[in-house]
Amino acid sequence: MEDNNLHLSLKRKNRFESTKSGYDVVIVGGGVNGLGTAWDAALRGFKVLLVEKGDIGSGTSSWSSRMIHGGLKYLEKYDVPLVRESLKEREWLVKSAPHLVRELRFIIPFYKNNQNSAMILRLGMIAYDILSFDKSLKSFEFFSRKKILEKEPGLNPKDLKGGCAYSDAQVDYSERLCYEIALAAKEAGAEILTHVKAIDLNVSNGKVNSIKIKDELSGEEVDVPTKIVINDAGPWIDDVWPKEHISLPRMNGGTKGTHLVLHSFPGAPSDAFYYESDDARPMMVIPWKDRYLIGSTDIPFVGDLDTASATQDEYDYILYETNKVLPEAKLTKKDVIYAYTGVRPLPYSEGSKVSDITRRHKIVDHKDKYDGLYTLVGGKLTTFRQVGEDFGDILSKRLGKNVKCKTRKMKLPGGNITSMEELRNQIKNTGINETLIRRLADQYGTIGVKLSKFIMEKPERQEVIDEAFGLTVGEVEWAVTFEEAYRLSDVIARRIMTGLEDDLGLGSIEPVSKICAKILDWNEERRLQEIELYKNYIKRLEVK
């Protein structure tokens, strides 16, 4: 599709063309892991390009349970190093992005027929606590049957033996988390091009020498010289290169996971719930943005990764399991506002049971056939910084630059916060409408102070165009002008965040698209086309 904008698109076109000058490393995929890799590598002084075929964070990183967690369930597999690594990263994230990542208390009910006995769960809790010895979150506590029923009266009392509470963390908007990592990488010097797809790899004498990329908005293609290529394409890793040209064994064995989004319901818990399904899988009921997120499923997936959506079986499974543990809920499909589905990037292993597939990340070095090409297999949302550090260490060694990882001691761009109260005061002092303060602080962190000043500069930017959300004209202008949003879906789904509201952002799509059109110089035909594309995009979320 033609991109008509003269100012921003010309700038983007120039940036695309200047990639011909070459890089130390080109990263494919702008999910949490590719972005974490770009951030680490740029901070070590490497010349970095990241290309993302869609928008920042538009892949699996948008469709998770939004938990920043140690992974209690990995203890069942005795994967202590993975749990310790995840708990360390959880603590780093709680401190580095306190506006986006916050403590969440979980309740685990113990039932007579659980696969794990109450004793095993107790031992698991103690181990989780010991492995997070450096945490700032609360410790676990155990409850008798009577106490847990007092605390959560909606719980099914049949065969209930007791329970416990423990803490993990939650990221409300993993989309904004991804954007902030991208911003951090850009500030460190990385070039990040969205709507740009990696389409081929050029290899001579077994060594990578360039990558071919295509601008999905203009159709233009260029060859970008580079020493290293990192395939960070999540569940797409096997689809990046043309098979007839680059032949590698299958690496991804991703499983599909669906979450349902609902309003509060009878018996809804005040804390999050973590419980065992009939088939001994972990299920969660999570308070999220004044609603509940329930799920998820875990099913081997083959199909179109870009349009994976919930099936009737998944609705039935999730609703049945929720009604089982919270019998007053009596949830049906009619209660579901929308559903979202993602495919976990997991290592492929023929014939393995889904629950047995490791959740650890692995870096594959393809030096035997394509020296200079690396692929990330797996990798959670929680551990993106560690993935970046691992790649940074490889790059430092390989390219002979003795620079240590810097991200561990850094914060994300909006995260330099002494206290949320002080941040809210700073936003308040800009004179912004009182009703916006809390949301801007939570959504943007310290960036919210700059954004509030921007909104207050012009009265027309203060106009509210989505009453329920409190969205202002200024926020849309900010997203398009400063936050690398080029499509309507980038703006609605991953910057201003109305795309996760009950109406999926449709209530304000007209004014939002008009602001985008003005700044991005879209004609009326293009504006209407963007609206259609967005409506098409959200079809996967609608309850069918």
* Residues at the interface with ligand FAD (CB under 6 A): 28-34, 51-54, 58-61, 63-67, 69, 197-198, 232-236, 240, 257, 296, 342-345, 379-382
Long-range pairs, 142-151, Cβ under 8 A, ≥24 = 148/107, 148/109, 151/107
Nearer to ligand FAD, 111 or 384 (CB): 384
> How many angstroms separate the Cα of 234 from the Cα of each of 65, 121, 178, 352?
16, 32, 14, 20
Nearer to ligand FAD, 93 or 517 (CB): 93
Distance in Å, CB of 230 to ligand FAD, minimum:
11
Nearer to ligand FAD, 65 or 396 (CB): 65
Distance in Å, CB of 236 to ligand FAD, minimum:
3
Distance in Å, CB of 62 to ligand FAD, minimum:
7
Nearer to ligand FAD, 148 or 233 (CB): 233
> How many angstroms separate the Cα of 55 from the Cα of each of 333, 494, 520?
30, 8, 16
Nearer to ligand FAD, 118 or 246 (CB): 246
Asked if 106 and 274 count as a contact pair (C-beta separation under 8 A), the reply is yes
Distance in Å, CB of 111 to ligand FAD, minimum:
23
Nearer to ligand FAD, 230 or 381 (CB): 381
Give CA–CA dist 506/230, Å, rounded. Answer: 37
Check residue 327 and report its DSSP letter: T
User: Counting Cβ atoms within 10 Å, is residue 101 exposed (0-12), middle (13-18) or buried (19+)?
Assistant: buried
Distance in Å, CB of 59 to ligand FAD, minimum:
3
State the pairing for strand pair 207-215/196-204.
antiparallel
Tokens at 390, concatenated: 């691992």
User: Mapping DSSP to helix (H, G, I), strand (E, B) and coil, where does residue 71 land?
Assistant: coil
Distance in Å, CB of 341 to ligand FAD, minimum:
7
Kindly write down the DSSP assignment for every residue of 384-420, as one continuous string: HHHHHHHHHHHHHHHTT------GGG---TT---S-H
Distance in Å, CB of 222 to ligand FAD, minimum:
14
Tokens at 15, concatenated: 């940036």
User: Counting Cβ atoms within 10 Å, is residue 506 exposed (0-12), middle (13-18) or buried (19+)?
Assistant: middle
- Using alpha carbons, select from 157, 174, 351, 385 the residue that is nearest to residue 259: 174
Nearer to ligand FAD, 222 or 403 (CB): 222
Distance in Å, CB of 305 to ligand FAD, minimum:
8
Nearer to ligand FAD, 260 or 326 (CB): 260
Tokens at 226, concatenated: 């580079």
- Closest-CB residue for ligand FAD? 31
User: Count of CB atoms within 10 A of residue 77's CB?
Assistant: 16
Distance in Å, CB of 382 to ligand FAD, minimum:
4
Distance in Å, CB of 452 to ligand FAD, minimum:
30
User: Counting Cβ atoms within 10 Å, is residue 348 exposed (0-12), middle (13-18) or buried (19+)?
Assistant: middle
Q: Identify residue 192 by its one-letter amino acid code.
A: I
Nearer to ligand FAD, 65 or 322 (CB): 65
Nearer to ligand FAD, 63 or 469 (CB): 63
